Every structure is written in structure tokens, then in C-alpha cells.
Structure 1
């Protein structure tokens, strides 16, 4: 299916409002992440709580840890990781695969590399509205071969992880309305992608160098996050001689107060205190954490 081309069709294009480099930091046990959302420059970008580009080489990884009150989206770029949780769910997320986990009222899980070499991917945390924070945990998993793709004659390619692009809809159900698109632009490529005007949206560059928002903008390269101002669409150009790959993520703001304590995200301090009490005493959703330990261990 061809991507929409021609002159700009946006009434109010999204311009880049803020840009910064995601620098490496240590996380988990021996893992390295480039965190963009969720660090001191950008604590929260409603409804997005965190974005990590992670790099893990065994025996490093993310051993047993809890979550409550939001969703985690894991999109593998290279290699594979195994996921286990105290509900008995276990699976492997390989390159190009997607796992969309709703932690809801509580989950304890591990995410560990299963292959030799370096495993790379993205993990995005999406906040849940207060009415959904205590729902039962659930998973949506899509293999790489089942993720819809489209490419035009000029070499602009999109993988529709969540939401919709060029008439293609992802099967992923998002309680917080969200779009997650993986774009690749060959040299000379020009992209025009609509974005709901009321949403918050950002670009994270995985590879190469591109111009975003306006032809007058300075080029941006890999590991940079670009927060987009409000508008009804994004334009991007690849004026370089190499491939440009980036994700475009947007979501409808919740407009609710948040209180976060590490892997727990609620609306009030009282709810956080109760969550910590529930986890420490194995109650109210964390009952199975008392006796559960993942099979994958740090050597």
C-alpha cells in the first residue's frame, strides 16, 4: 500500500518543541539503557512515563521485579529476551516482536536475555487512567511476521505497532489511546504522517540522521528524542546518504495527577503507600509473589 505523498496536507504541522540526547545509564543488573522519558530532563510526558533503549548481554538482565498502575511495551530490535511472571506466563520476545503488558493491579516478572551476544530493544511505559489502574494483568503479543507493514515507491517504510497509519490498523488494543509507528526512510525519503491534534507525540531516532517538523530545522541523529509541539501531523526528510530509522509515538494525555515510586505509578501518595504495603505483605494482587521465583537467574 503506498504512503501518502505530495504537498503538505497539514493545517498545523507539528514542529520540534524540545530535543535532547538519551545518554547511557545502568539499570537492572548489569544492563545499560538510554533513557529519554523518565529522567531528570523529562520526568513525564503525559501519558508516557518512561522510554528506554536497552542493551543487555548475558548474564546481565532485569531479574524479578514488580509493577502496578501502567502498561509496559517491549519492542525488540536485536536478539531476544525471555519473559516470566508469577501468573505462569512465559514467552520469548525476538527481534521485531512486540509484547504489550498491562500490569494493572500488580505483576512480578523477569526479563532476561536468552541468546548469545547483545540483545537490544525499546521499552515504553504508558500510564493508565485511574479507573484502569487496578484491573487484572493481561498480555498482548504480536510476532514480527504479523506486524503490518507498508512501503512506498520512494522507500518510506512503516511498521504499525499500535494505532493506525496509511489505512493499516494494529490489532493491539490500547486503553490509553496510543500510536506507535516504526519508520524507515531511505536517502531522499519524505514522510507525512497525521497525528491527532490533542495528543502528545515524540520521535526517537534509532539510526541515521533526519530533519523533522520543518525543512529549516537542524538535522537530528540517533539516540535523540524530539518532543513535538501540538499540530495535526509530522513531516520528516532524509537528506543524508544513509538509512534513517525512528519511532513516532503519540498518546492522548490523561490529565490526571501521578505519584510514582519506582515500578509503582498511582494517583495519590496514599495509593502508593497502599501499593508498597500490598507488595511487602503479598496482598491485593501480589499474593503469588510470596512463593514465586523466576527460572532465569543471574549467573
Structure 2
């Protein structure tokens, strides 16, 4: 804890309205939508739920990291680098697309199984990492460490997906600075979470009602709260107003670089995007399997 705890405040608030995406999935998009486009290093935030027969079949990426965090149900994944597995509720996949990867993410459905719901965050890669080999880090729900600011029997749990909070550090190592927390309040209570000064920070409300800093306005579910980033602000104070309040809190090191994005391709110049399209069409420079690889799960 810093000697003097100075909290960030809400400077923008965007309600994520549900829309269609992919093959029949429903998403609430805030970052990357019309009302919230430029929030470096973050490119997109989707809160998704996927019904029977829907999903995200084979598609490419270059130049960004995609972070999939499951809230309910589970999702299978498979990619052209040979990785495959299952992301369970409470688990995360942190995929660095680097110079190129094709992957599929398909939900698991069955009798008695909950409908898959989760969050996908796209994070811009620093330009020096745009063309690294693709990689991913995956943790099941039991592998994600939790911090308990008031002890294990207290009202607050912070799942440390990346970064560190209240003495607990995640094993995930992103390319570029990024803290990602799932904050759970069992009862009305308050917590201060330290964050690196000057980093871009947002919260996304999932359940209940929460206030930020000294503000009295309560924030209801499905709102993305962009927080201030003054150098003297050492973190953020959060206060839950209801039982079972949940939110995610994400903070990233801003990037001093231009974003040129064409769908799932994110580079720093128009020429790099054009080169990416050529590489993908020709099946080279990271996309060697673009026209020959097909996932086993994409057609399910």
C-alpha cells in the first residue's frame, strides 16, 4: 500500500448494449464500439454469451493479445500452432497472436450445462512485439491466485488474473504491462487496489452496484467505467453497495504508437496492414497454415 492512497475517479461511462457477433453469439461491446474507440493499449472488450450452435469458428489474428476469461460454462479452443484445450468457468487464456495465428473458440453445450458466458479483451502489442512468434498462457480456475484484503473469511476476493494485488502476484506474463483483476464483494464493503500511476484503467461492472473513489453515484451492471490516470493517483477505491457485487478491473501501460486496425489485424501503419493482408492471402510470414489448417471444433 502506498503511503498516501489517492484514488482514480470515473471520467467516462459507457453502457455495453447487447448485439450479434460471430456465428450466432450475443455480445455486449464497450471498448472498440462507437462510444469508446481509443483507450490504449485496449482495443476491444466483449462480454459474450453463446447459445447452442453458435461460436467463433476459425479466424486469424496478428499484432495483438486476446484474453478470454470464462465466467460461466466452458469453451473449447484450438489454433494453427497446435494448441488446444478447454477454458472452464473461472479460467483464462492469454493468447499472444504475434506475427500470426488462426484459431477457433467454440462453447461447450449439453444437458444441464450452463450457457457459456465470458469476457474477451483485445490488447494492443507494443510495436517491438508485433511480429514475435505466437504463444499463449492458460490457467484453470484453481491456478488463478486470489487475494483476500480482509482475510479468507472476509467479504472481498480479488482474483489476480495478471499483475499483482494485496501481496498476490499472477504467474501470467504479458508482453506489455497489464493488470487484470476480478473483484468479488460478498457483502457491502470497500477496498483500495494499488495500480501503476499513469496507466490506462477501466472497470466493467458484472453484478450489483459499486461506487468509485469519493463519488456517490452507483454504477449498475454492464457499464464500462474509464478511470482517470493522473500521476498522483496510486490506485482505486471501490465500494460495493449490495451483496454479491462483481466487476473486473483492468489497467494497462499506454502505448505511444498509432493503431491501424483491419478486423483482427492490428499494426502501427497502413503499409503494415496491407503487408499483413498480403501475407495472409499468400500464406506466408506467420500465416503458412492459413489455407490448409482447419480446426476440429470449428465445424461442430
Q: Which runs of 4+ in 1 moved over 6 A?
A: none
1:184 aligned residue: 184
**What is the CA–CA distance in structure 2 between the aligned matches of 1:228 and 1:192, rounded to whole Å?**
14
2:241 aligned residue: 239
Structure 2 counterparts to residues 96-115 of structure 1, below 5 A: 96-115=90-109
Structure 2 counterparts to residues 164-243 of structure 1, below 5 A: 164-214=164-214, 216-230=215-229, 231-240=233-242, 242-243=243-244
Where 1:288 maps in the other structure, the secondary structure is coil
Where 1:105 maps in the other structure, the secondary structure is coil
**What is the CA–CA distance in structure 2 between the aligned matches of 1:177 and 1:47, rounded to whole Å?**
9
Displacement of 1:232 in angstroms is 1.5
**What is the CA–CA distance in structure 2 between the aligned matches of 1:120 and 1:225, rounded to whole Å?**
17
- Structure 1 residues without counterparts, runs of 5 or longer: none
> Residue 74 of structure 2 contacts residue 87 of structure 2 at CA under 8 Å; is this kept in 1?
yes
> Residue 161 of structure 1 contacts residue 170 of structure 1 at CA under 8 Å; is this kept in 2?
yes
**What is the CA–CA distance in structure 1 between the aligned matches of 2:96 and 2:203, rounded to whole Å?**
23
1:123 aligned residue: 120
1:90 aligned residue: 84
> Residue 266 of structure 1 contacts residue 272 of structure 1 at CA under 8 Å; is this kept in 2?
yes
> Residue 10 of structure 1 contacts residue 233 of structure 1 at CA under 8 Å; is this kept in 2?
no
Report Cα offsets for 1:110-157 as digits up to 9, x if no partner.
000123351001111111111100000001011111111122254111
**What is the CA–CA distance in structure 2 between the aligned matches of 1:233 and 1:158, rounded to whole Å?**
14
Displacement of 1:188 in angstroms is 2.4
Q: Aligned pair 1:37/2:34, yes or no?
A: no
The CA RMSD measured in Å over matched residues stands at: 1.4
Structure 2 counterparts to residues 128-147 of structure 1, below 5 A: 128-147=125-144
**What is the CA–CA distance in structure 2 between the aligned matches of 1:250 and 1:121, rounded to whole Å?**
19
Where 1:146 maps in the other structure, the secondary structure is coil
> Residue 162 of structure 1 contacts residue 180 of structure 1 at CA under 8 Å; is this kept in 2?
yes
**What is the CA–CA distance in structure 1 between the aligned matches of 2:4 and 2:236, rounded to whole Å?**
8
Q: Aligned pair 1:17/2:11, yes or no?
A: yes
Report Cα offsets for 1:136-190 as digits up to 9, x if no partner.
0001011111111122254111110000001111000011101001111133210
CA, structure 1 residues 103+297, in 2 after alignment: closer, same or farther (shift >3 Å)?
closer
1:160 aligned residue: 160
CA, structure 1 residues 96+11, in 2 after alignment: closer, same or farther (shift >3 Å)?
closer
> Residue 56 of structure 2 contacts residue 298 of structure 2 at CA under 8 Å; is this kept in 1?
no
Aligned length: 291
> Residue 96 of structure 1 contacts residue 144 of structure 1 at CA under 8 Å; is this kept in 2?
yes
CA, structure 1 residues 178+126, in 2 after alignment: closer, same or farther (shift >3 Å)?
same
1:248 aligned residue: 249
**What is the CA–CA distance in structure 2 between the aligned matches of 1:55 and 1:193, rounded to whole Å?**
29
**What is the CA–CA distance in structure 2 between the aligned matches of 1:60 and 1:298, rounded to whole Å?**
10
Q: Which moved more, 1:113-122 or 1:25-34?
A: 113-122
> Residue 34 of structure 1 contacts residue 52 of structure 1 at CA under 8 Å; is this kept in 2?
yes
Report Cα offsets for 1:40-62 as digits up to 9, x if no partner.
11112110011111101221000
When the two structures are superposed, what TM-score results if normalisation uses the length of structure 1?
0.94
Which of 52, 58, 65 is residue 58 of structure 1 equivalent to?
52
> Residue 58 of structure 2 contacts residue 298 of structure 2 at CA under 8 Å; is this kept in 1?
no
